[in-house]
Structure 1
Amino acid sequence: MTPRHVIVMVTTSYPRFPGDSVGTFVEPIAKGIAARGHTVHLVAPWHPLVRRPREEDGVSYHFYRYAPLPSLNVFGYAAAMRADVSLRGAAIAVAPLALAQGWRTARAIARRQGATMMHGHWVVPGGVTAALAAPRLPLVVSLHGSDVYVAETFPPARLAARMALRRAGAVTACSRDLADRAVALGADASRVMVVPYGVDVERFRPDPLSKTGERARLGVPADVPLIFAAGRLVRKKGFEYLIDAMRHLTGEHRAILALGGEGDLEAELRERAARLPASVSAVRFLGRLDQNAVGAYLASADVVVVPSVRDDAGNVDGLPNVVMETLATGTALVTTRAGGIGAVVKDGETAL
């Protein structure tokens, strides 16, 4: 019989409310582990948008406060990096407070609950925090993308990541690209495994009814192709290249691009879209979308585009959720091979 564990899961990002688009892949991991009979205590920074009960589906939540001022709640939840290229000054300033309080909370929960295992998401800082909070407990570190980039780019983060990776009994990566880079940072190759994200097939599935509903809300005629893309508006998502490509869809090939998400590049991308000639395809900015809305748009689109790139700073997605979600929905997918994408799609069969 498989032993039941008491797991303290340390993360800096998690859906703050049901349907939130931030940290979506961590929730099914936490709840999936709980569903297998293990006890899960999730430790994460507090955020003004957190709307979670103390316990839900077998996961107990422990959100810790660290910021002396509301404006300094910028640690985690995809807020610490500017366009996913550089760390924000405010995030650097508040990091010592957040890291110390995260360590203190994880250590206290591990001791109080009799933890048997620590699980850190993002090697920096989740893996490091988990390793230091309970040095004698087995450690699992899960890599998601930007954490490896930070470790490769900033020497202090590299040293901390190397410590956590070498201490870990298991390291999971959502793509082979991340796994190889983790080994280069010091992880034991025999302990690294690639585990792609799963998909909620109830939320992301073919839905003919969405075709008319979402198109009507956008005012897209039935005979005009609808292209959909979604993600944080940051460099590695490559949305500027997608917008520029729209100028080639003219005349009978005219289409509408619906772009969901928010981020540091929104003003720049809106300006880029505004410079498109009136005679070519249009771009509609949808803003932040919850997961139900993303599922509906994926099902209603004629084509989904995931134009991920390795940006000029060297950052790249591990494996964008929207790739797996589009495949589950059955909508035509156009994408790149950046990061882990090339390992899950096959040109001419499951994507172009």
Structure 2
Amino acid sequence: MPPALTAARAAPLHVLEVVGNAIVGGMESWVERFIERMPRERFRFTALVPVEGPFADRLRSLGAEVHTVPMADDPSWVSLQTTLALVQSQLVDVLHAHLPRAHVLAGLVGRLAERPVIATLHGREVGMLDLEVHRATGSHLCVVCRPSHRHALGLGVRPEQLSCVPNGVDTAMFQPRLRGHRTLRESLGLPQDATLLGFVGRLSPEKGPEVFLQAMHVLARRHVGAHAVIVGDGPMRASLIAQAEQLGLEGRVHLIGLREDMPAVYPELDVVVSTSHSEAMPLALMEAMACGLPVVATRVGGVPDLVQDGHTGWLAAPGDFHGTGQHCATLLADEALRRRMGRHARERVVARFDLGACVDGMAQLIERLAAPANAEAALAMPTRQFLRQS
């Protein structure tokens, strides 16, 4: 057995977070909150990221030691050697990967170093690369919603190598606040009584921001005073600006880029909209609901587990901009309905999706896989068993 997995433990478990991206996104936020909330008497963290930048700096501010190494779908020998040396010299107990390219690196190094590997899959489906790495290296897959769990089982992932730990939100950080003076409206040059919809997410095709603009076009016909803010950045930014102009929404749709003060931004919104074509358990919706906001979202992935249609908000089919716009119009026309749905949204997130439960679930999983007996059993599985499954 490797030295880090022997005998009774007095020191905290050493977890290497292998993160395949370093932008501002839901996955990165999840990793930050996870490291921040995990009990220091039981765990310590090192992080491996592809590039230096604000994300790496934030992880360091949380007490994690951070290293950079190139990550690719086919990792170089330098990346493998560097990561293996880090795991062995720092006595890492468990590798925890996020995104397929990180899973490849962690899976191979974990196999070489005889350390257990967990891959948290933040998306709706198990991708082919994640599945191949799992079958080849025996990594443990952790999904964040029930549809993803069913999908993994349907692909032949064995139940003992699969866990479901739903995403959670910090309900103390994200909570309703008295609006008072609406500084967001002031910064946008809007009247203080203007109604304001929000889209929060990466401006990329899977998030469907173009559908949000089409829904806003539908809404504008019924609610002439409505405005919208798009919070985030990404490759579709320029095309969305052009689309807003084509739809005649100039001056009514405001792209405000990335924001680091979202706990203060959400309470200034009236409704939050998610028009994603694919999701698992989106953090932006959780954060909005924790802040007491009703939501309108597409019926994809784990979203129906989060949003109770007609109770905490409304659900629409993917791409249904007309239905999405109509639901938004209904909410903006009825303040009492918005308040009631927002109150129910907050209650549901506090009861079912608080970050504490997510952290506890991951802590138990890491400790279980790091236990010597479990680690030996997982690492002793013959390679031919992986080949048969594929």
1:15 deviation in Å?
Answer: 6.2
Runs (4+) off by over 6 Å: none
Classify 1:171/1:327 alpha carbon distance in 2 versus 1 (closer, same or farther; 3 Å): same
Return the TM-score normalized by structure 1: 0.76
Alignment of 1:1-352 (within 5 A): 4-14=12-22, 23-33=28-38, 35=40, 37-49=42-54, 52=57, 55-64=60-69, 66=70, 96=74, 99-122=76-99, 124-135=100-111, 136-145=114-123, 148-149=126-127, 151=128, 158-164=131-137, 167-168=138-139, 170-209=140-179, 212-250=182-220, 253-254=223-224, 255-277=226-248, 282-290=252-260, 292=261, 294-309=262-277, 316-352=278-314
Deviating more after overlay: 280-289 vs 341-350 = 280-289
Classify 1:301/1:53 alpha carbon distance in 2 versus 1 (closer, same or farther; 3 Å): closer
Counterpart residue type for residue 114 of structure 1:
L
Secondary structure, counterpart of 1:267 in structure 2: helix
Classify 1:55/1:265 alpha carbon distance in 2 versus 1 (closer, same or farther; 3 Å): closer
Gaps of 5+ in 1: 67-74, 76-93, 310-315
Secondary structure, counterpart of 1:209 in structure 2: coil
Q: Residues 22 and 28 of structure 2 are in contact (CA less than 8 Å); yes or no, is this contact kept in structure 1?
A: yes
CA distance in 2, matches of 1:267, 1:54: 31
Aligned length: 303
Q: Residues 210 and 296 of structure 1 are in contact (CA less than 8 Å); yes or no, is this contact kept in structure 2?
A: no
Classify 1:2/1:338 alpha carbon distance in 2 versus 1 (closer, same or farther; 3 Å): farther
Secondary structure, counterpart of 2:197 in structure 1: strand
Q: Once the two structures are superposed, what CA deviation does each residue of 1:102-131 show, in whole Å capped at 9, x if it has no partner?
A: 433321111011122222222x22222212
Q: Residues 261 and 288 of structure 1 are in contact (CA less than 8 Å); yes or no, is this contact kept in structure 2?
A: yes
Q: Residues 145 and 165 of structure 2 are in contact (CA less than 8 Å); yes or no, is this contact kept in structure 1?
A: yes
1:139 deviation in Å?
Answer: 2.0
CA distance in 2, matches of 1:216, 1:317: 33
Percent identity of equivalent pairs: 25
Name the structure 1 match of 2:346.
none
Gaps of 5+ in 2: 1-7, 315-390
In our comparison, the structure showing a higher alpha carbon Rg is 2
Secondary structure, counterpart of 1:35 in structure 2: coil
Counterpart residue type for residue 295 of structure 1:
P
Secondary structure, counterpart of 1:52 in structure 2: helix
CA distance in 1, matches of 2:153, 2:222: 50
Counterpart residue type for residue 35 of structure 1:
R
Q: Once the two structures are superposed, what CA deviation does each residue of 1:265-306 show, in whole Å capped at 9, x if it has no partner?
A: 11221111111236x98211112222x1x2222110011111
- What CA RMSD, in Å, does the superposition of the two structures yield over aligned residues? 2.9
1:134 deviation in Å?
Answer: 2.5
Q: Residues 26 and 284 of structure 2 are in contact (CA less than 8 Å); yes or no, is this contact kept in structure 1?
A: no
CA distance in 2, matches of 1:201, 1:189: 31
Q: Once the two structures are superposed, what CA deviation does each residue of 1:124-176 show, in whole Å capped at 9, x if it has no partner?
A: 22222212113121222211118834x2xxxx665334324xx13x4221112
Name the structure 2 match of 1:87.
none
Name the structure 1 match of 2:384.
none
